């Protein structure tokens, strides 16, 4: 029995060392698992931009919900290509009209984000008569590439710009384009994005291989942005930006400082209370609580979890849950000791008898947090996730860590007297 306790104790210490390393602020990358473990911050902590786009679904013939999900999917593809960490993109309702709400943490170039997100990205190739010969749906998105201009003779379209966007057509698009370029040799084919002419190259020869080059005096960045719009696809319905709100990094820093100060004060007061009221047991619980906090932060970085002000609130609440678990056990230990049971037996019985209350309270908390996580969105969903993690770790902290340490002490005759409450 004692050997198992010491093995468990050694595992807890190793876990504590590993979690402390991950939780350290300066630990941002772990080479062994090739993982970025930077603590991710939400819009309210890191700063960024909040955008709301109203969608015009008046001309949608099918399901409005399906159209809005399509809009959300296109926005998500564009945001991911922008490299924004942990964006929040959700379908909402603005003035009784369907809308898309987007939070972009850490975004500094707001104008560029709006330009890429708000473009409908309707691509059309038109001949001299204005007939559409090719559309965006005829392009294979994943094979769209922006690169320095190649020799004009390889494309069949004469141009003289420094950057270009290479596209590969679907089988249907390949047939359409072959027919159109065959009929328009030595003539221009206009390339339009959102009904704006961006290029009108001359067809030098028929293009039958299903590949084409789009030019328009692109700079490197403009070519990449254009390719990004084509890769993400066209928006199913027109959208209009109706609200824009920038959150400064200074506001996020102030919020972090105030929240951390409140959290530190709360934890210190809890530790003082536990040690003053439960003495040595409270001291063991305090060590377990410190380990509990380190494990939480390590998991936030490993999963990863995007921390917001609501998430910090969830973390502080989860600390209260962990403390409550220890209080239930210690109060039960008092009763067992008053009944005259030896200290080792009293410790075992206190955990066994308190387990039912601990289990039921944690299950109730997990059910509530899970419902919030499934049906909420944004920072409220993050709050629920942090609460779920904290509740599960609370069980580990009380039932494994605190229990292990108390049983080790109870097994030592010299230290048994410290457990007398």
pLDDT, tens digit, 9 for 90 and up, residues 190-236? 888 778 887 788 888 898 999 888 876 778 878 887 787 777 666 77
Same domain, 256 and 396: yes
Same domain, 253 and 381: yes
pLDDT, tens digit, 9 for 90 and up, residues 316-366? 899 989 999 999 999 999 999 999 899 889 999 999 999 999 999 999 999
* pLDDT at position 81: 65
The span from the CA of 402 to the CA of 409, in Å, is: 11
Tell me which residue range forms the domain holding 160: 123-220
Query: Is residue 228 in some structural domain?
Result: no
Query: Is residue 333 in some structural domain?
Result: yes
Query: Is residue 226 in some structural domain?
Result: no
Same domain, 262 and 338: yes
Same domain, 202 and 260: no
Burial environment of residue 293 by CB neighbours within 10 A (0 to 12, 13 to 18, 19 or more): buried
Same domain, 314 and 367: yes
| CATH code where residue 75 lies | 3.30.70.3400
* pLDDT at position 160: 41
- Residue whose token pair is 């291989």: 209
Same domain, 34 and 81: no
Q: Give this prediction's pTM.
A: 0.68
* pLDDT at position 404: 93
* pLDDT at position 36: 83
Query: Is residue 231 in some structural domain?
Result: no
When divided into structural domains, the chain yields a total of 3
End position of a domain, from candidates 199, 231, 247: 247
Same domain, 266 and 364: yes
Same domain, 364 and 252: yes
The answer to whether 213 and 191 are in contact (CB under 8 A) is no
Query: Is residue 225 in some structural domain?
Result: no
- Residue whose token pair is 């039958």: 208
Query: Is residue 183 in some structural domain?
Result: yes
* pLDDT at position 158: 42
| CATH code where residue 214 lies | 3.30.1360.200
Same domain, 271 and 415: yes
The span from the CA of 259 to the CA of 112, in Å, is: 32
Same domain, 285 and 415: yes
Same domain, 29 and 83: no
The span from the CA of 256 to the CA of 312, in Å, is: 9
* pLDDT at position 150: 62
Same domain, 72 and 131: no
Query: Is residue 109 in some structural domain?
Result: yes
* pLDDT at position 155: 45
* pLDDT at position 120: 64
Task: List all residues 6 or more positions away from 341 whose beta carbon is below 8 Å from its beta carbon.
Answer: 349
* pLDDT at position 136: 82
Residues of the chain with pLDDT under 70: 1, 81-83, 85-86, 119-121, 150-161, 216, 232-234, 249-253, 255-256, 421
Query: Is residue 12 in some structural domain?
Result: yes
**Secondary structure of the chain as H, E, C letters:** CHHHHHHHHHHHHHHHHHHHHHHCCCCCEECCCCEECCCCECHHHHCEEEEEEEECCCCCCCCHHHHHHHHHHHHHHHHHHHCCCCCEEEEEEECCEEEEEEEEECCCCHHHHHHHHHCCCCEEEECCCCCEEEEHHHECHHHCEEEECCCHHHCCEECCCCEEEEEEECHHHHHHHHHHHHHCCCCECEEEECCEEEECCEECCCCCCCEEEEEEEECHHHHHHHHHHHHHCCCCCCEEEEEEEEECHHHHHHHHHHHHHHHHHHHHHHHHHHHHHHHHHHHHHHHHHHHHHHHHHHHHHHCCCCECHHHHHHHHHHHHHHHHHHHHHHHHHHHHHHCCCCHHHHHHHHHHHHHHHHHHHHHHHHHHHHHHHHHCCHHHHHHHHHHHHHHHHHHHHHHHHHHHHHHHHHCCCCCHHHHCC
């Amino acid at each position: 029995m004692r050997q198992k306790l010491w093995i468990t104790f050694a595992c807890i210490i190793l876990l504590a060392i590993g979690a402390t390393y991950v939780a350290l602020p300066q630990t941002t990358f772990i080479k062994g698992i090739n993982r970025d473990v930077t603590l991710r911050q939400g819009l309210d902590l890191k700063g960024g931009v909040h955008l709301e786009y109203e969608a015009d679904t008046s001309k949608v013939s099918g399901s409005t919900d399906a159209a809005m999900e399509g809009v959300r999917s296109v926005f998500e593809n564009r945001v991911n290509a922008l490299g924004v960490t942990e964006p929040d993109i959700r379908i909402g309702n603005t003035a009784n009209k369907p809308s898309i709400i987007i939070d972009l943490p850490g975004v500094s170039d707001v104008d560029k984000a709006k330009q890429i997100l708000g473009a409908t990205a309707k691509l059309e190739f038109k001949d001299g008569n204005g007939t559409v010969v090719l559309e965006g749906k005829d392009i294979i998105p994943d094979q769209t590439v922006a690169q320095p201009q190649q020799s004009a003779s390889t494309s069949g379209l004469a141009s003289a710009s420094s950057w270009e966007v290479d596209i590969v057509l679907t089988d249907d698009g390949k047939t359409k384009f072959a027919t159109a370029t065959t009929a328009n040799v030595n003539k221009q084919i206009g390339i339009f994005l959102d009904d704006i002419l961006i290029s009108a190259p001359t067809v030098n020869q028929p293009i039958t291989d299903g590949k084409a080059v789009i030019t328009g005096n692109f700079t490197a960045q403009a070519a990449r942005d254009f390719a990004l719009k084509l890769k993400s696809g066209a928006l199913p319905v027109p959208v209009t930006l109706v609200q824009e709100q920038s959150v400064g990094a200074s506001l996020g820093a102030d919020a972090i400082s105030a929240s951390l100060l409140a959290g530190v004060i709360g934890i210190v007061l809890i530790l003082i209370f536990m040690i003053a009221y439960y003495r040595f047991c409270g001291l063991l619980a305090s060590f377990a609580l410190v380990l509990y906090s380190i494990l939480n932060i390590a998991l936030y970085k490993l999963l990863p979890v995007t921390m917001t002000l609501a998430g910090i609130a969830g973390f502080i609440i989860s600390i209260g849950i962990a403390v409550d678990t220890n209080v239930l056990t210690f109060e039960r230990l008092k009763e067992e000791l008053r009944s005259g049971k030896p200290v080792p037996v009293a410790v075992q019985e206190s955990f066994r008898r308190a387990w039912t209350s601990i289990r039921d309270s944690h299950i109730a908390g997990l059910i509530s947090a899970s419902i919030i996580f499934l049906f909420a969105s944004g920072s409220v969903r993050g709050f629920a996730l942090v609460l779920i993690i904290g509740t599960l770790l609370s069980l580990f902290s009380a039932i494994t860590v605190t229990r292990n340490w108390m049983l080790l002490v109870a097994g030592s005759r010299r230290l048994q007297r410290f457990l007398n409450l």
